[in-house]
């Protein structure tokens, strides 16, 4: 079985920075895509950023120009560098991974989430 573990959340002032990490482990043949999503209290979950096996990247409009996603060659570990944080960035941030188990079955999994709080 595959598991995802997020880390790096915390409290930061407006204009500050945080870096999140998501590590995938288990019986993985290949990860084809990783992404970060967030959900603020009382709101729907929204896309933050995704990166695929070819390292093509996509950002949500609300974070474009402020956040950067990156990963190692196998996408075993993916980072989200968050800069110029705003109060509206306050949310629980979730890691998502899609790929194939060692037996070639497809998977899509979510991490437990990490809380980011931006104060003003």
11 CB-near residues (< 8 Å, 6+ apart):
117, 118, 119
Query: How big, in percent rounded to 5, are the helix, strand and coil portions of the chain?
Result: 0, 60, 35
Confidence of residue 19 (pLDDT cuts 50, 70, 90): very high
Confidence of residue 28 (pLDDT cuts 50, 70, 90): very high
Cβ–Cβ < 8 Å for 38, 91: yes
% of the chain beyond a pLDDT of 70: 100
- The tokens 């037996």 sit on which residue? 103
Please determine, for residue 1, whether its predicted confidence score (pLDDT) is greater than 90.
no
Mean pLDDT of 20-42: 96
């Amino acid at each position: 079985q595959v598991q995802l573990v997020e880390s790096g959340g915390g409290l930061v002032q407006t204009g500050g920075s945080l870096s999140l990490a998501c590590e995938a482990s288990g019986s993985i043949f290949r990860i084809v895509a990783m992404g970060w999503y967030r959900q603020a209290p009382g709101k729907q979950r929204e896309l933050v950023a995704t990166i695929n096996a070819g390292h093509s990247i996509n950002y949500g409009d609300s974070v474009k120009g402020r956040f950067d996603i990156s990963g190692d060659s196998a996408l075993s570990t993916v980072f989200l560098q968050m800069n110029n944080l705003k109060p509206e960035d306050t949310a629980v941030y979730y890691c998502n991974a899609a790929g194939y188990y060692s037996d070639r079955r497809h998977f899509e999994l979510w991490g437990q989430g990490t809380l980011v709080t931006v104060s003003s």
